[in-house]
Amino acid sequence: MPDNKPETVETKSAAPSRRDLFDIAGALAVPALMGVATEATAATVGPLKAGPQIYQSIGVEPVINCRGTFTIIGATIELPEVRAAMEAASQHYAQLDEVAMGVGQRLADITGAEWGMVSAGCAAGLKHVTAACVSGGNPEKLIRIPHIESLDKNEVVIPRSSRSVYDHAVRNIGVKIIVVDTAEQMEKALGPRTAMIYLTAGGPTVNGPLSLENVARMAKPLNIPILVDAAAENLTIPNVHLQRGATIVAYSGGKAIRGPQCAGLLLGKKDLLMAAWQASSPHHGPGRDNKVGREETLGMLAAVETWVKRDHEGEWKTWLGYCDTIAKKVSTIPGVTTSVREPQGLSNRSPMLIISWDPDKLNVSGEEIAEEVARTKPRIALGAGPVGKMGRREYQETGTSINVTPWQMQPGDDKVVAERLHQVLSKQRPRKEIASPAANLSGRWDVQIDYFSSTSHHSLFIEQDGNKIHGSHKTDFSVNEMAGLIDGSDVKMRSASVAKEGGDFVPFLFAGTVSGDTISGPVYFGEYLSARFTAKRHKYPQAGAGKIVVPGGPPLAN
């Protein structure tokens, strides 16, 4: 076991401390589960074999999900009732408009909403509802989307707190987004051209000036619909958002409800949901690309039917049991502490196990542990670093951490995860000393990034202080702050390109090697995969400008 006594770390004036190194490394950590060949992902690809080894047969090692309902790792496992309904639906043909009518009525009967609709995921549902608010069910307007400048309803009002990467689904319709920060701005923004108000559930929509109730009081006299995005929330019956003034509420089918991952659930006013159905597949128009099949439609209905029968208290106790199994095992490691958080909100409603330690004692960061268990068998997806409201000061006091979210774990996973985490946290790790820089990178660098099918030219403006790097990164569309670290000849730098519209950002994590006046290696973009980069030190013109004469006043002739 690692010694629990504090270590004295000698640092040079220009070099980061051990704690600084972990802080920087956390910011520069390559996201786990990136598509890189490793022990867990380098299997041979062969013919597809149905059964327990179906993923391994195509060279993919499955993942134990201790992270939650993240789409990138499959979100959730469908309930047996859902799979049975989908299998039965797949054996027969049916007219999809008639299916939608039957399902819509049944969803209304179960949930108490006026009507229900199944979409091809929550984001598709947001898109269809926006199209419905723009078109009003008029197909001549519908087929003009996204060129809607001449339509009478073409604006969507969104509080800044509700902007996110997911409002692409709203913007896909071509609407003009009006962003507001206050109730006064909201009231002024609403008018005859307002097609819809879009709110994300939770946070400021629960309390405060832009709460759902306050927004509904402004919108109702003007007959402006309110769409609430509650993708990751538990389904409430009767629905809390509709009771508080929402016109439509949208859920992900493949998260808490455990329906098909490629299905979404819309509940609310029938007239608007009928217009949304008109704007979705199988009908031609802007929603044709968001097809939901008869199998997913009935599978989603089965998930809602089952929701009202599930033992939710029993499930919670099971999840706490998973946390307890893991906590008891890892707590036997000196210096490791655990705690469990039990959130009260509706979104991502699951207990969470926090496993913390002092990185100077175990000589490893949370990000490094998460990366290790993501890359090697058995593969485990878990979180790392501060969680929720844990501020910077508290994070420094508690050291570093990983977190286990158990609500998507399967029976037996807790024992596997407990043994695995105990193994990796118990390893004897020598203290890693950062190497002296192999080069001084200060200056301007011309960067070529080779994407899958195109090339871009960026610039890096670097200032180096010992091992630390900071400066700026000029991309195709913006100039952003950049920070990094040089460890010998290994260079890691990170920046983020933030879109002016919406909540989008593209992280740039450069992981290169410096050789002379060249830095090269991969560059990672988080969920947007990776590319290769080559940076060359900028060559300034050798010849000077010659004699420069400063004029004494305005020119006479030249």
Pair of tokens at residue 168: 């692409």
**Whole-number Å distance between alpha carbons of 366 and 355:** 9
β-partners of residue 496 are 507
**441, 486 contact by CB (below 8 A):** yes
What pLDDT, in 10s, does the model give residues 255-267? 999 999 999 999 9
pLDDT, position 347 = 83
pLDDT, position 204 = 85
pLDDT, position 100 = 97
- Its pTM stands at 0.87
Average pLDDT score over the chain: 88
pLDDT, position 453 = 97
pLDDT, position 9 = 29
Has residue 36 got a pLDDT over 60? no
SS (H, E, C) 409-472: CCCCHHHHHHHHHHHHHCCCCCCCCCCCCCCCCCEEEEEEEECCCCEEEEEEEEEEECCEEEEE
Nearest to 426 by CA among 311, 329, 519: 329
**Whole-number Å distance between alpha carbons of 58 and 55:** 6
Give the whole-number percent of the chain exceeding pLDDT 70: 89
What pLDDT, in 10s, does the model give residues 180-200? 999 999 999 999 999 999 999
Pair of tokens at residue 369: 């542990």
Which H helix or E strand runs over 488? none
Residue with tokens 């878990």: 382
**Whole-number Å distance between alpha carbons of 397 and 408:** 30
Q: How confident is the model at residue 393 (pLDDT cuts 50, 70, 90)?
A: very low
Q: Give Dmax over CA atoms of the chain in angstroms.
A: 90
Higher pLDDT, 14 or 135: 135
Q: How confident is the model at residue 310 (pLDDT cuts 50, 70, 90)?
A: very high
274 phi and psi, to 5 degrees? -65, -40
Higher pLDDT, 344 or 538: 538
Angle at Cα 459 formed by Cα 456 and Cα 461, nearest 5°? Answer: 165
Has residue 388 got a pLDDT over 70? no
β-partners of residue 199 are 228
Nearest to 406 by CA among 335, 345, 357, 342: 342
Contacts of 225 (CB under 8 A, 6+ apart): 129, 133, 195, 196, 197, 219, 247, 248, 269, 272
Nearest to 25 by CA among 424, 536, 378, 370: 370
- CA 246 from chain centre, in angstroms, equals 25
Has residue 102 got a pLDDT over 50? yes
Going from the N-terminus, what domains does the chain have, and what CATH number goes with each?
25-62+312-425 (3.90.1150.10), 80-307 (3.40.640.10), 443-537 (2.40.128.120)
**153, 136 contact by CB (below 8 A):** yes
Angle at Cα 168 formed by Cα 180 and Cα 453, nearest 5°? Answer: 135
**Whole-number Å distance between alpha carbons of 154 and 192:** 10
First to last CA, the chain: 80
Angle at Cα 243 formed by Cα 161 and Cα 221, nearest 5°? Answer: 75
Q: CA quadruple 404, 316, 416, 1: dihedral positive or negative?
A: positive
DSSP 28-97: HPPPTT-S---TTT-PPP-S---STTTTGGGT----EE-S-S-GGGTS-PPPHHHHHHHHHHTTS---HH
